[in-house]
Amino acid sequence: MTNATTAVTNPAEQLLFEMSVEGRRCLRLPELDVPKVDVKTALKGAKLRNQPAKLPELSELDVVRHFKNLADKNFSVDKNFYPLGSCTMKYNPKINVTLLSKPGFTKAHPHLPEADIQGHIELMYNLEGYLREISGLPAVTLQPAAGAHGEMTGIMVIQAFFRDKGEGKTRTEVIIPDSAHGTNPATAALAGFKTVTLKSNADGGCDLEALKAMVGPQTAAMMITNPTTLGLIEPNMLQIAEILHAAGAKLYMDGANMNAIQGVVRPGDYGVDVMHFNLHKTYSVPHGSGGPGAGPIAVREDLEPYLPTPRPIKKPDGTFTLEFKRPKTIGKVRSFFGNYGALVMAYIYMSQLGREGVRRNAEYAVLAANYIRAKLRGHYHIQNDKTCAHEVVFTDAKQDAESHLHAIDVAKRLIDYGIHPMTIYFPQANVTGGHGAMMVEPTETESKQTLDFFIDVMKKIAAECKENPDLLKNAPHNMPVVRLDEVRATTQPQLYCPMCMA
Partner 1 sequence: MPFIPHTQKETAEMLSAVGVKSIEELFHDIPQKLRIDMKDSSKLKLPKGQGELEVIRHIEGLLAKTKNAGDYAYFRGGGIYNHFVSTVVDHIALYDGSFITAYTPYQPECSQGTLTFIFEFQSAICALTGLEVANASMYDGASALAEAMMMGLHVAEDKFRKENRSTFVIAGHVNPEYVAVCKTYAKTAGIKLVIVPASEDSGRIDADALKAALTRNVCAVAVQSPNYLGVIEDVEGVVAAAKVNENLVIQAIAEPLSLAYLQSPAEAGVDIAVGEGQPLGNHQFLGGPAFGFFAAKKEHLRKMPGRIVSETVDRNGKRAYALALATREQHIRREKATSNICTNQSLCALRALIHLAAWGKNGFMELAEHTIAKTQYAMKKLAAVEGVKVLHGESPVFNEFVIAAASGLDRKLIKKGIVGGLSLDKYGKGRKGQYLVAVTEVTTKEDVDKYAAALAGALAGKPVGVSK
Instruction: Pick from 338, 427, 436, 442 the residue near partner 1 by CB under 8 A.
Output: 338
Q: Which residues from 248-267 bind partner 1, rule CB under 8 A? A: 261, 263-266
Minimum separation from the CB atom of position 310 to partner 1 (A): 11
Q: Which residues make beta-bridge pairs with 475?
A: none
Q: What are the residues whose beta carbons fall under 8 Å from the beta carbon of 351, sequence distance 6 or more? A: none
Minimum separation from the CB atom of position 145 to partner 1 (A): 4
Q: Which residues make beta-bridge pairs with 313?
A: 321
12 touching partner 1, by CB under 8 A = no
Q: Is 450 left (phi over 0), alpha (psi -120 to 50) or beta?
A: alpha
Minimum separation from the CB atom of position 28 to partner 1 (A): 7
Minimum separation from the CB atom of position 281 to partner 1 (A): 9
306 touching partner 1, by CB under 8 A = no
Instruction: Pick from 11, 199, 387, 430 the residue near partner 1 by CB under 8 A.
Output: 387
Instruction: Pick from 3, 48, 317, 327 the residue near partner 1 by CB under 8 A.
Output: 48
Of 210 and 497, which has the nearer Cβ to partner 1?
A: 497
Minimum separation from the CB atom of position 400 to partner 1 (A): 20
Contact predicate 442/259, CB 8 Å? no
Segment contacting partner 1 (CB under 8 A): 3-11, 353-361, 432-440, 459-467? Answer: 353-361
407 touching partner 1, by CB under 8 A = no
Contact predicate 85/423, CB 8 Å? yes
How many CA atoms, within 13 angstroms, populate the side-chain half-sphere of residue 435? 22
Q: How many Å apart are CA 384 and CA 427, to the nearest integer? A: 13
Q: How many Å apart are CA 473 and CA 481, to the nearest integer? A: 14
Of 265 and 397, which has the nearer Cβ to partner 1?
A: 265
Segment contacting partner 1 (CB under 8 A): 17-25, 210-218, 394-402, 429-437? Answer: 17-25
Instruction: Pick from 83, 128, 134, 175 the residue near partner 1 by CB under 8 A.
Output: 134
Q: How many Å apart are CA 479 and CA 426, to the nearest integer? A: 25
Q: Which residues from 168-197 bind partner 1, rule CB under 8 A? A: 181-183, 185-192, 195
Instruction: Pick from 8, 33, 166, 327 the residue near partner 1 by CB under 8 A.
Output: 33
105 touching partner 1, by CB under 8 A = yes
459 touching partner 1, by CB under 8 A = no
Instruction: Pick from 139, 249, 251, 350 the residue near partner 1 by CB under 8 A.
Output: 350
Instruction: Pick from 292, 314, 326, 469 the residue near partner 1 by CB under 8 A.
Output: 292
> Is residue 225 helix, strand or coil?
strand
Of 281 and 398, which has the nearer Cβ to partner 1?
A: 281
Environment class of residue 391 by beta-carbon count within 10 Å: exposed (0-12), middle (13-18) or buried (19+)? buried
Contact predicate 435/396, CB 8 Å? yes
Instruction: Pick from 336, 402, 404, 456 the residue near partner 1 by CB under 8 A.
Output: 336
| Sign of the alpha-carbon torsion through 85, 146, 186, 138 | negative
Segment contacting partner 1 (CB under 8 A): 1-9, 244-252, 396-404, 472-480? Answer: 472-480
Q: Which residues from 65-104 bind partner 1, rule CB under 8 A? A: 66-68, 70-80, 82, 84, 87, 89-93, 95, 97, 99-104
Give the full edge-to-edge strand order of the sheet including 194-198: 139-141, 297-299, 274-277, 250-255, 219-225, 173-177, 194-198
> Is residue 207 helix, strand or coil?
coil
> Is residue 397 helix, strand or coil?
helix
